[in-house]
Amino acid sequence: MSALLQARDLVRCYEGPKSLFGKSPAVRAVDGVNLTLRPGETLGIVGESGSGKSTLGRMLLGIDPPTSGTVAFDGEAMPPLQSPRWRALRAQMQLVYQDPLAALDRRLTIADQIGEPLEIHRLAKGAERSERVRDLMAQVGLRQDQGDRYPHELSGGQRQRVVIARALATSPRLLVCDEPVSALDVSIQAQVVNLLRDLQESHGIAMVFISHDLKVVRNICDHVAVMYLGRIVEEASSDEIFAHPLHPYTRALVSSVPIPGKPLTGRILLKGEPPNPAQRPAGCAFHPRCGSAKPACHVAAPPLEPVALARRAACHLLVSPQDHAA
């Protein structure tokens, strides 16, 4: 099966603030990421804040142009930002935002906003559009009478349902969800995650699910990529990564996910500063916080290499452990 979305060597640099003594060095928010997503597949991207996961998501959608590298959708290169072809392509790929209130126009009713993509892409109008909007609202679990409401009159969970309905309006083939539940109450999170999973399954949409929360990702994704300071450090199927995390960072993340009914034991606590993309450590970026760092980790950054079937990781300890043992 051919890839729906293919990212090669994606890099995104942000210029540092200008100071009196010239520009500070550019911050590499995303640094050489390769990804493949097949139609109908779900990929979770996990990382702390500052790991570059949101930037990666925006580049995959073509909203943020990469500094270097390419994104291909359906085998074709991403057209330039804001070009007519880019706009037309929006019907195929949509974004679900972290903060639904900010993503909605406060002066339009939610029915108008859900129907807006249909209007923009001239997919339906008049009674047909109203019908489609009602259908979408039913799919995301909104009551029909809520169509005349304004965003601020709804709860957080309902707003996120509006954003999801709007994203689904054009029947996209790719949905990128950027921390879709982290702004919601914990009690609502599960509902929204389940809704997303059900919709993904019934529509067969390919999905990129970005989150800092491993257990949310596990619930919904086939594959998981773990990011640390702009790079993918481990990539595997969801089950594999939870059963046998390989990278020390993944191990730490997995160890902190509680399992219902069991006490949380063997938790690996990360020490040191949280990652700061402006000051990337030399060598393996994770080494200052790694419990088992070796001298080689201070010197060279490990490449992301296959370690098993459909499984990649970037760690000196895994590729050739005997070198370090010597």
Least CB distance to other proteins at residue 102 (A): 5
**Which position among 74, 150, 288, 319 is part of the footprint of other proteins (CB under 8 A)?**
150
Provide the token pair at 146.
Answer: 């809520």
Contact 60, 6 (CB under 8 A): no
- Cα–Cα distance, 60 to 270 (Å, whole number): 30
Residue 263 burial (10 A CB sphere; 0-12, 13-18, 19+): exposed
Based on the shown chain and the rule CB under 8 A, indicate whether residue 18 belongs to the binding site for other proteins.
yes
Please, which residue, 211 or 219, has the CB nearer to other proteins?
A: 211
Please, which residue, 101 or 188, has the CB nearer to other proteins?
A: 101
Contact 67, 12 (CB under 8 A): yes
Which parts of the chain fold into alpha helices (H)?
Answer: 53-61, 84-89, 100-103, 110-120, 126-139, 156-168, 186-203, 214-220, 238-243, 248-255, 295-299, 316-319, 321-325
**Which position among 48, 116, 213, 222 is part of the footprint of other proteins (CB under 8 A)?**
116
Based on the shown chain and the rule CB under 8 A, indicate whether residue 309 belongs to the binding site for other proteins.
no
Beta-bridge partners for 145: none
Based on the shown chain and the rule CB under 8 A, indicate whether residue 152 belongs to the binding site for other proteins.
yes
Based on the shown chain and the rule CB under 8 A, indicate whether residue 20 belongs to the binding site for other proteins.
yes
Contact 38, 1 (CB under 8 A): yes
Based on the shown chain and the rule CB under 8 A, indicate whether residue 117 belongs to the binding site for other proteins.
yes
Least CB distance to other proteins at residue 52 (A): 16
- DSSP3 helix / strand / coil % (the chain, rounded to 5): 40, 20, 40
- Cα–Cα distance, 159 to 216 (Å, whole number): 19
Angle at 254 (CA atoms; ends 228, 6), nearest 5 degrees: 45
- Cα–Cα distance, 302 to 178 (Å, whole number): 28
Tokens 């590499």, residue located? 28
Please, which residue, 11 or 123, has the CB nearer to other proteins?
A: 123
Based on the shown chain and the rule CB under 8 A, indicate whether residue 105 belongs to the binding site for other proteins.
yes
Q: Which range touches other proteins (CB under 8 A), out of 112-120, 187-195, 230-238, 288-296?
A: 112-120
**Which position among 6, 42, 51, 94 is part of the footprint of other proteins (CB under 8 A)?**
94
Based on the shown chain and the rule CB under 8 A, indicate whether residue 91 belongs to the binding site for other proteins.
yes
Number of residues forming the site for other proteins (CB under 8 A): 31
Least CB distance to other proteins at residue 213 (A): 21
Please, which residue, 168 or 192, has the CB nearer to other proteins?
A: 168
Q: Which range touches other proteins (CB under 8 A), out of 3-11, 39-47, 108-116, 282-290?
A: 108-116
Binding mask 154-173 for other proteins (x = CB under 8 A): ---------x--x-------
Kindly list the residues in this chain that would bind other proteins in the complex (CB under 8 A): 17-20, 61, 63, 82, 87-91, 94-95, 97, 102-109, 116-117, 120-121, 150, 152, 163, 166
